[in-house]
C-alpha cells in the first residue's frame, strides 16, 4: 500500500473511466492526488472518495494549466507525477470527419498533453532534488489502423511524438524527469461505449491501465523513459487473414 507514498500526483480527466481508476490506485498506494476534470462534479466526487483535492480544468486552456499546477504546488508543496489522461472521441472516418472535429480533438489530446508536459516539467524541476514521472495516455489507434477514428488517431499519434521528445529532452537535461506513454486497446469506459456500444466482449478494465500507471508513477520504473507501452492483451499482434 505504499508504492507511491509521499508523491504528489495530478490526474487529468480524473472524474471518469481510466482517470478515476488511476486516481484511486495512486491514492491507495499512498500518493496525494489532485483530480482535475472539465466536469467539476465528477472530479469532486472522485476526490471526496479518495481523500484528494479537485479542480475544474479544461486541458485545452493554458491558463487552466497554469492555475492547476500552481494550486497543486500551493496545496501539496510539489509535483511528482502527472497523468495526461483527459480525452474524448468523435467517431468519423477520413471522408466524413470535419476540420472542426480534427481541431477539437487535437486541442484536447495533443495540445492538452503538450501544455501538461510543458508546465508539469516546470513544477517538477522546481522541487528540491528534481525528478518526476509524466504518463501520457495515447491509444492503440496511434499505431494501428482503425478507420472510424481518424481525428482521434492523429491526436494520439501526436501524443507519442511528444512523449519521445520530452523523454529525450529530460534525459539531456539530466533533471530526473521521465516521460512514458501507454497505448491502451479497448477498455470498458463510457468513452468506449460511445464508440462500440455497451456489448463488447474481451475488453480490458480501467484497473488494467491504472496498474500500469502505478508502475510508471512509482520508482520501480526509474530506468524507463520514452517507452510506448501497448496494453491490449495481444489483440494487435495476433495474425490471421491473408
Ligand atoms: P471517459 O469518457 O470515461 O473519461 C474521460 C474524462 O475526460 C471525462 O471525465 C471527461 O469529462 C474528461 N474530459 C474530456 N474533455 C476534457 C477536457 N477538455 N479537459 C479536461 N477533462 C476533459 O473516457 P476514458 O475511456 O476513461 O478515457 C481516458 C483516456 O484514455 C482518454 O485520453 C482516451 O482517449 C484514452 N483511451 C481510452 C481507451 C478506451 O478504450 N476506453 C482506449 C485507449 C485510450
When pLDDT is averaged across residues 26-34 and rounded to a whole number, the result is: 98
Rounded to the nearest 10 degrees, the angle between the axes of helix 206-217 and helix 17-28 is 50
Strand ranges for the chain from DSSP E: 8-12, 32-37, 53-56, 81-84, 132-137, 177-184, 228-231
Query: Which among 144, 182, 191 is the best mutation to test ligand 1's pocket, defined by most ligand atoms within 8 Å of the CB?
Result: 191
- Contact in structure between 180 and 225 (CB atoms under 8 Å): yes
221 CA to centre of ligand 1 in angstroms: 24
Question: pLDDT at position 150, please?
Answer: 98
Q: What is the pTM of this model?
A: 0.98
Mean predicted confidence (pLDDT) in 9-17: 98
* pLDDT at residue 124 in the model: 98
Q: Ligand 1 pocket, 18 CB below 6 A? A: yes
| Inter-CA distances, 167 with 22, 71, 82, 178, 216, Å | 21, 25, 14, 6, 13
Residue 54 annotated as catalytic: no
pLDDT in tens, 36-81: 999 999 999 999 999 999 999 999 999 999 999 999 999 999 999 9
> What is d(CA 46, CA 106) in angstroms, rounded to the nearest whole number?
26
Class of domain 8-231: alpha beta
In this prediction, residue 239 carries a pLDDT of: 84
Q: Where are the domains of the chain?
A: 8-231
pLDDT confidence tier of residue 161, bands split at 50, 70 and 90: very high
pLDDT in tens, 93-138: 999 999 999 999 999 999 999 999 999 999 999 999 999 999 999 9
Q: What is the pLDDT of residue 201?
A: 78
186 lines ligand 1 (CB under 6 A): yes
pLDDT, one tens digit per residue, over 163-189 is 999 999 999 999 999 999 999 999 999
Atom of ligand 1 nearest to the CA of 39: 11
Is residue 226 within 8 A of residue 170, CB to CB? The reply is: no
Amino acid at each position: 500500500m505504499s508504492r507511491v507514498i509521499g508523491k504528489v500526483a495530478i490526474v487529468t480527466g480524473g472524474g471518469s473511466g481510466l482517470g478515476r481508476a488511476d486516481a484511486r490506485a495512486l491514492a491507495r498506494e499512498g500518493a496525494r492526488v489532485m483530480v482535475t476534470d472539465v466536469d467539476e462534479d465528477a472530479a469532486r466526487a472522485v476526490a471526496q472518495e479518495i481523500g484528494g483535492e479537485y479542480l475544474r480544468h479544461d486541458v485545452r486552456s493554458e491558463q487552466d494549466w497554469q492555475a492547476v499546477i500552481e494550486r497543486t504546488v500551493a496545496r501539496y508543496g510539489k509535483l511528482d507525477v502527472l497523468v495526461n489522461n483527459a480525452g474524448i472521441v468523435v467517431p468519423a472516418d477520413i471522408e466524413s470527419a470535419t476540420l472542426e472535429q480534427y481541431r477539437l480533438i487535437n486541442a484536447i489530446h495533443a495540445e492538452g498533453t503538450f501544455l501538461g508536459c510543458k508546465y508539469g516539467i516546470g513544477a517538477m524541476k522546481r522541487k528540491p532534488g528534481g525528478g518526476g514521472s509524466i504518463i501520457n495516455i495515447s491509444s492503440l489507434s496511434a499505431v494501428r489502423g482503425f478507420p472510424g477514428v481518424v481525428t482521434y488517431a492523429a491526436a494520439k499519434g501526436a501524443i507519442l511524438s511528444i512523449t519521445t521528445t520530452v523523454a529525450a529532452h529530460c534525459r539531456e537535461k539530466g533533471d530526473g524527469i521521465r516521460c512514458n506513454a501507454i497505448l491502451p486497446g479497448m477498455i470498458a469506459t463510457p468513452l468506449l461505449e460511445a464508440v462500440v456500444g455497451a456489448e463488447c466482449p474481451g475488453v480490458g478494465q480501467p484497473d488494467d491501465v491504472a496498474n500500469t500507471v502505478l508502475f510508471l508513477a512509482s520508482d520501480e520504473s526509474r530506468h524507463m523513459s520514452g517507452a510506448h507501452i501497448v496494453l491490449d492483451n495481444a489483440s494487435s499482434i495476433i495474425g490471421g487473414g491473408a
